[in-house]
Structure 1
Amino acid sequence: MLAPSRRAVLRTGLAATSLVAMPAILRAQGASVKLGIIQPVTGALANDGDLGKLGAELAVQDINAAGGLKALGGAKLEIVFADSRSNPETAAQETERLNGEGVAAIVGGFGSGLCATASQAASRYDLPYLIDVGVADQLTKRGLKNTFRFSPSFGMVTKSALERLVALNDAAGKPARTVVIVHEDGLFGSGLAKLLQAELPKLGFEILETVSHPSPARDMANVVLRIRSLQPDLVIPSNYYGEFVLLARTMLQQRVRPKGIYAILGGGASSLRFVKEFPQAAEGVMDCNHWPDPKNPLTAELRKRTEAAGRAFAYNVPMNYSAVRLMAEAIEKAGAPDRLKIIEALSTQSFSSGVMPYGQSKFDTGQNTSALPLNTQVQGGDVKVIAPEAFAETKANFPLKA
């Protein structure tokens, strides 16, 4: 074998020296940044997970089409997807896999129980985790420096929901005095029910009963029979999509029609799938929940793109679309797909909120302090924002006729 010539050695050395001297930003050109997306696309929460995944995919498409991560030389975002299968243990296992895949950060989770185990697993690797929807207050109170929540907590949602319920009831002449709470028995529903039990009596409402149910639930007949016997003015449900729809349909079938169904984080109340498939059960249902700004033109565009993909629009799409864009902005502000630098950026800087009605998002001990739920009502076969006034499209229809 012939030894390389002196000229060849010099050429190789100069090329290597040039590569080392090249600015890091140029060396990064053409590279991709791996972003973990975790959603429950199978199991009991599959409908929500599928929509969350779609929202993330649409965001990555738009970011890459607009030139990628410009602060990183136009690096493209690459999704590494994980299915938690609606199971907390699997959520933790899939987070371990995402870490092994070398993702720079994770967005998603959906359910509070899923987010709890996934973010805990991510914390072992200083892996930035941005919760999309999981609302349990304790998710950002565990001292995990890697964990951030884009959406409002259920404490924040409940505060807004009760203030608006009082205003709604007062404006209508206080027709509602008695309440039955119906909630799923997991981390999300049980925590919310506890808050409602503490706060509603202070506001002049009598809680006739609090009814819990498992998720998934196959039958709501006994729950609705109990509501019928108590004859409350209001039913306040807090549950996931399948159970909410089952409850509303069973109430319609059994002709149980209170003065209002006022959901707080009701899984189906703000879903166009529910409205289209069961219009009679959906009509008049109110909800205080995650919802995009209806006055932002991009909201209507996202709805069109969701329907073009064969899905019915719900908040999961704009929520995850906006959360992924926020994480991309954080990676750019960090200047590199460096996990600790991303955590530092999320902890200290403010960010665009996409199509969500949050203004500038800023995190305090992991919670987005500007996150704001909206009140919606199903009217005329569509979901309309009724409060707060700055985002309202129409007035509330309350009380409902028997």
Structure 2
Amino acid sequence: MRLWLAGGLALMLMLGGCGNQTGAGAGSTANTVVIGVLLPLTGAAATIGLAEKAAIQLAADLINTPSTLNLPAVSGSGLPNLGGTQVSLIFGDTQGDAIVAASEAARLINAGAVALIGCYHSAATKTAAQIANGRGIPFLNPDSTAPDLTQQGYTTFFRTTPSDATFVNAFFSYMNFIGHPISPANNGLTIVYENGTFGTGINTLATSTALTTYLTVASSVPYSATATSFTTQASQIALTMPRTLLQASYTSDAIGLIQAYKTANIVPKMIVGMDAGFTDPLFLNNLGVNAEKIVSRATWNLDLTHSNTLAASVNTLYKANTGSDLDDASARAFTGAMTLLDAINRAGTSNASPVLAALSATNLPASQLIMPWAGISFDIAGQNTLGSSIMIQVQNGTWKTVWPASVATAGTVYPFPAWTANPR
């Protein structure tokens, strides 16, 4: 299926299609494989984009220099099945914008990238992946969760992170696990979501899942992620005073909404974020004690290094480079980069067709991952079928893994405390 979009993106498609490079490995040399990295390096999500950039660079460094870590394709210097070929990264700044992402994807391909990885924002990933698909270029997405990204008919698109379908199901499973009912008797669930690709998908999935499980959605409250005031949304939420708030937000809006809840004295029994802005370090840095006892879904958390020695080793290297620990987004980016580089290594070439075949045949075991997943293996649509979700909660200023029990380092503290509670 071909997706045709109007306006600026249509122009990008025409420009991107000039001089079709369907696997010639243009720009790479006998000694170098060039990978294009698309991330929001400026703008509201720059903190996340720069963290992911550092994680992907670490993955390339581990390929390019000798290492004893049990990671795919890591052995000597360079990609072993390509005779020690080095990995070179070139970067494009999406600015969190879908049209810019498409333009940057075309630019990186024209600059010689034989594969692309990115883009964090689901809307940006959708347009960039369309450019890559039109050029026959492999596109590895480690971090965008809108379910429809694997429903576009793209043949060059692969996603290692679970989609929001997995995460929404995890949310309801977690609610059952802690014995937290969502029913008409307690005003049910309110879904607060940014009105872009990411948030709209969450609202649709959570609403449909609630209906099939006989639960109640009291209200859905959309907003623009670029908004600077959330008084209107807080007033809407206060009308129903729901038992549970499920929130799909990027960074500045996640922070702004929590501040608005406090101002309006909205105190549900639980506030649950859908990752994204909630796991940006700026969330805790800006909210401080007001973030206490908020829950979020995630794919990775720092306390997982206590039980995963590979994750601990990779985090040590990452922290030595950046001064910061890995977080959910950067851990996913690292994992996606290692998956792509492993496929290129198994293909024995940077030409697109063999790399796409190698990606399709991926079967990475849990023992070679820093993620708490069963492995990485792609279905026909390019979705990793072995990924999973965890739930984390802010306790004493840090995120603690609270679900599932197999990886939890703390129990859930419930219910959400009053804003004036001391301690919170």
| TM-score, normalising length: structure 2 | 0.82
Q: Does 1:185 align with 2:200?
A: no
Q: CA distance change for structure 1 residues 29 and 128 in 2, over 3 Å: closer, same or farther?
A: closer
The residue that corresponds to 1:315 in the other structure is 328
Residue 307 of structure 1 deviates from its aligned partner by 8.1
Partner Cα distance (2:409, 2:131) in 1: 42
1:393 aligns with 2:402: no
Correspondence 1:354 to 2:369: yes
Q: Which one of 377, 382, 395 corresponds to residue 398 of structure 2? A: 382
- Name the residue aligned to 1:49: 49
Aligned to 1:324: 337
Select 1:124's aligned residue among 127, 131, 134.
134
Q: Percent identity?
A: 25
Task: Read off the aligned partner of 2:409 and give its amino acid letter.
Answer: E
1:359/1:231 CA distance change after superposition, 3 Å: same
Question: Which residue identity lines up with residue 58 of structure 2 in the other structure?
Answer: L
Rg bigger for which structure?
A: 1
1:284 aligns with 2:293: yes
| 8 Å contact kept, 1:176–1:234 | no
Q: Distance in 1 between matches of 2:226 and 2:176?
A: 32
Contact kept, 8 Å, 1:41 with 1:85, in 2: the verdict is yes
Q: Distance in 2 between matches of 1:307 and 1:250?
A: 37
Paired residue type of 1:296: N
* Corresponding residue SS for 2:219: strand
Residues 170 and 369 (structure 1 numbering): CA distance in 2 closer, same or farther, change over 3 Å? same
User: CA shift at 1:53, angstroms?
Assistant: 1.1
Q: How far is 1:359 from its partner?
A: 2.7
Structure 2, unaligned runs of 5 or more: 1-27, 67-76, 419-424
Cα pair distance change 1:250/1:185, threshold 3 Å = same
Q: Encode CA deviations 1:239-296: one digit per residue, 9 max, x unaligned.
A: 1111111111222233322111022x23232333322332222110111123254422
Report the CA distance between 1:76 and its aligned residue: 1.3
Measured after TM superposition, the shift of residue 176 of structure 1 is: 6.0
When residues 29 and 262 of structure 1 are mapped into structure 2, their CA distance, relative to the original with a 3 A threshold, is closer
Letter in 2 for 1:271: D
Q: 1:113 aligns with which of 90, 110, 123?
A: 123
Partner of 2:150: 140
Q: Give the C-alpha shift of residue 204 in structure 1.
A: 4.5
Q: Deviations over 1:341-398 (max 9, x none)?
A: 0100111231256311223200002000011111111111111111111111111112
Change (3 A) 1:300 1:382: farther
1:84-233 to 2 correspondences below 5 Å:
84-170=94-180, 178-233=188-243
Match of 1:299 among 311, 323, 329: 311
> Is the 1:241–1:266 Cα contact (8 Å) retained in structure 2?
no
Please, which moves more after superposition, 276-285 or 110-119?
A: 276-285
Letter in 2 for 1:230: T
CA 1:251–1:303: 2 relative to 1, 3 Å:
farther
Identify if the C-alpha distance between structure 1 residues 378 and 290 changes in structure 2 by more than 3 Å, giving closer, same or farther.
same
Question: What's the TM-score, normalizing by structure 1?
Answer: 0.86
Q: Secondary structure at the match of 2:106?
A: helix
RMSD over equivalenced CA pairs, Å: 2.5
Q: Provide the secondary structure at the position in 2 that maps to 1:81.
A: strand
1:370, 1:130 → 2: CA distance?
16
Structure 2 CA distance, aligned partners of 1:217 and 1:303?
34
Structure-2 separation of matches of 1:300 and 1:224: 40
